[in-house]
Amino acid sequence: MRVLAYTSPARGHLYPVTPIMVELAARGHDTHIVGLADELGRLEPLGIECSPIDPAIAGIEIVDWQERSLPGAGLSTLRTFAQRSLHEAPDLTGAIARQHPDVLVIDVNCWGAATLAEASGLPWAMYAPYLLALHSRDAPPFGLGMRRLGGPVGAIRDATVRRMVSAGFDRTAMPTIRKLRAQYGLPAVERFNDLFSCPPLLLSLTAEGFEYPRSDWPANVRLVGPVNWSPPQPTPAWLKDLSDPLALVTCSTERQRDKRLLHVALEALPATGMSVIGTTAAHDPDAFTAPPGSRVVRFLAHEAILERAACVVCHGGMGITQKALAAGVPVVVVPFGRDQLETARRVEFAKAGVRLSPHRLTPARLALAVRTALELGEGARRVSRAYAAAGGAPVAADAIEAVARMRTR
């Protein structure tokens, strides 16, 4: 079997699918990833063939950080996905012609590639490395990080807010999606939420225990838990010079207004006796001043740090949040936008950490949030056990193999 995975230009979407493809390759299947050009050299030693995304797609960057409101930022991100989608279908068409795959695995953010996959007649699956924006009677409307609220009042609130949020998604995304589906001869889809029912298999890379438990998961959804991977990197020699307790503080790999998080952490946490390792990612590490006993770098493999970390302080990206919880490390999430409000609320729901609004981010409040999170280690370990039970890459590979067999029936 030959498997072709098509990803959006983001490390947070390329890295999670990598272990699934490695698992498939270990089972004797041929695997190929279309992804970020700068990252592909790191995948080839794993036995995965690679080719770059069309540079026209990679050049369309997320610019939600330019917006001043959360709704504006969310709609800006949707517009970026819509712009990319117009290039994705031709890009995937070329990849299929070159690779002759038996099954396709498509990033949830790649609307154009998903349209082409559905129209191709090939077996296909979609994967989502972040929480699914699915409507559910058992969960609040997606996007605002709202608390669950039961009873008639909760039902009325959820229905009202869901209509508002859905209208924004539909107004921004659906014109492009309708155009693409018509172009490739597919039936019209009226609502953005309906797109999740299109793939025969929708892999959700999380698990109940972190995600809200639901009685109405669609039949095509398979929760397999997080699939964590990052490029191998030697453990830095200076790590042994940092004293415990240790806090890992991370910024997003995609540019946003989150650098204040690290500035505040460097002020607050060493004063409480903690060492800080900060990773700046999209920000210049030279813009930060680390006090003695702490360190700031742009990128660092988190695995070695998580073996020692007492707490992780982050922006709420699903990658670092789930990686921390998989290691049984409690988190403090300061969500700045995108899906991070939902991630932060799930952390709070799971009693595996603390949610702190960026509007309330001060050294004193962050220090208090970390002290509170340190008492929630059992919640983090409970989430870790739920992740392990979901099965990860082997279970995802099983599901992809099953979808591929559907073609022969």
Domains assigned to the chain: 2-225+391-408 (3.40.50.2000), 237-388 (3.40.50.2000)
- What is the maximal distance between C-alpha atoms in the chain? 64
Beta-bridge mates of residue 33:
5, 50
Q: List Cα–Cα distances, 180 to 34, 82, 362, in angstroms.
A: 21, 10, 46
What is the mean predicted confidence (pLDDT) over 80-91? 93
Distance from C-alpha of 140 to C-alpha of 392, rounded to nearest angstrom: 26
Q: Tokens standing for 320?
A: 């670092």
Find the length of the chain: 409
DSSP 211: B
Residue 204, H or E segment: strand 201-204
Taking alpha carbons only, the member of 408, 404, 405, 400 closest to residue 21 is 400
Q: Residue 67 above 70 pLDDT?
A: no
- pLDDT of the residue at 408: 47
Those residues with Cβ within 8 angstroms of residue 365's Cβ, 6 or more apart along the chain or in another chain = 356
Distance from C-alpha of 245 to C-alpha of 26, rounded to nearest angstrom: 39
Distance from C-alpha of 74 to C-alpha of 89, rounded to nearest angstrom: 24
What is the mean predicted confidence (pLDDT) over 178-202? 93
CB contact at 8 A, 314 and 293? no
Annotate 378-390 with b (16+ C-beta within 10 A) or e (fewer). Answer: ebbbbbbebbeeb
Crossing angle (nearest 10°) for helices 151-183 and 111-120:
70
CB contact at 8 A, 181 and 115? yes
Rounded to the nearest angstrom, the gap between the alpha carbon of residue 115 and the centroid of all alpha carbons in its chain is 21
Q: Residue 197 above 90 pLDDT?
A: yes
Rounded to the nearest angstrom, the gap between the alpha carbon of residue 359 and the centroid of all alpha carbons in its chain is 23
Q: Which residue has the tokens 């099954």?
A: 103
Taking alpha carbons only, the member of 76, 72, 43, 38 closest to residue 60 is 76
Distance from C-alpha of 50 to C-alpha of 39, rounded to nearest angstrom: 10
Q: Tokens standing for 179?
A: 């155009």
- pLDDT of the residue at 102: 96
62 falls in which pLDDT band (50, 70, 90)? confident
pLDDT digits (tens, 9 = 90+) for 219-271: 999 999 999 888 888 888 888 888 899 999 998 777 777 888 999 999 999 99
Distance from C-alpha of 220 to C-alpha of 222, rounded to nearest angstrom: 7
Q: Which residue has the tokens 């009685």?
A: 215
- Residue 313: phi and psi, rounded to 5, are -115, 125
Q: List Cα–Cα distances, 23 to 31, 32, 100, 194, 337, in angstroms.
A: 10, 13, 20, 30, 33
Distance from C-alpha of 62 to C-alpha of 58, rounded to nearest angstrom: 10
Q: Residue 68 above 90 pLDDT?
A: no
pLDDT digits (tens, 9 = 90+) for 116-165: 999 999 999 999 999 999 999 899 998 888 898 888 898 899 999 998 88
pLDDT digits (tens, 9 = 90+) for 285-341: 888 888 898 998 988 888 888 989 999 999 988 999 999 999 999 999 999 877 899
Q: Residue 360 above 70 pLDDT?
A: yes
- Sort strands 246-250 and 103-107 into parallel, antiparallel or unpaired: unpaired
Q: List Cα–Cα distances, 383 to 206, 247, 308, 326, 390, in angstroms.
A: 10, 19, 18, 7, 11
CB contact at 8 A, 20 and 393? yes
Taking alpha carbons only, the member of 260, 222, 242, 212 closest to residue 363 is 260
Q: What is the pTM of this model?
A: 0.91
409 falls in which pLDDT band (50, 70, 90)? very low
Q: Is 234 exposed, middle or buried (0-12, 13-18, 19+ CB in 10 A)?
A: exposed
- Sort strands 295-297 and 311-314 into parallel, antiparallel or unpaired: unpaired
Beta-bridge mates of residue 124:
104
